[in-house]
Structure 1
Amino acid sequence: MDAGPPFDAVLLAGGRARRFGADKPAAPVGGRRLIEWAAAAASGASRLIVVGPRRDVLPGAVVVREDPPG
């Protein structure tokens, strides 16, 4: 099976979650946080870039913050 060309993945996890009412990426779903599910879906990425606040659940991810935050 061909893995295809290399790619980087960007997870957008810095919104305010006004309609959700809580930190959506940290919400537990099926025993994992939503952000962990999203990272797993991009597991073939060369780099995982997370836009938003620093989180301890994704070691090795490049974390960046938008300016202004939110």
Structure 2
Amino acid sequence: LRLPKRITIRGHDENDYRFLVKADEDIRQDQRIEALFSIMNDLYDNDPNCNQSNSAHIAVRIYKVN
């Protein structure tokens, strides 16, 4: 098992674009976990104890898995 590498690419627009890169691994499990995290964020957004109007906004950071 290898840890993903975090890379940053600066675009022509001078903005930095960050990516996580994994090599030589099956990413289907990662896709399923990211889908679960996305569902969790939707649930958090609909929960009055977790939504943005509360000062303690809760969210799971997700990444696009290709």
Q: Which TM-score band applies after superposition, normalised by the shorter structure?
A: under 0.3
Flag the structure with higher helix content. Answer: 2
Higher relative contact order (CA closer than 8 Å, sequence separation 6+): 1
If the length of structure 1 is used for normalisation, what is the TM-score? Answer: 0.27
Larger Rg: 1 or 2? 2
Q: State the TM-score, normalizing by the size of structure 2.
A: 0.27
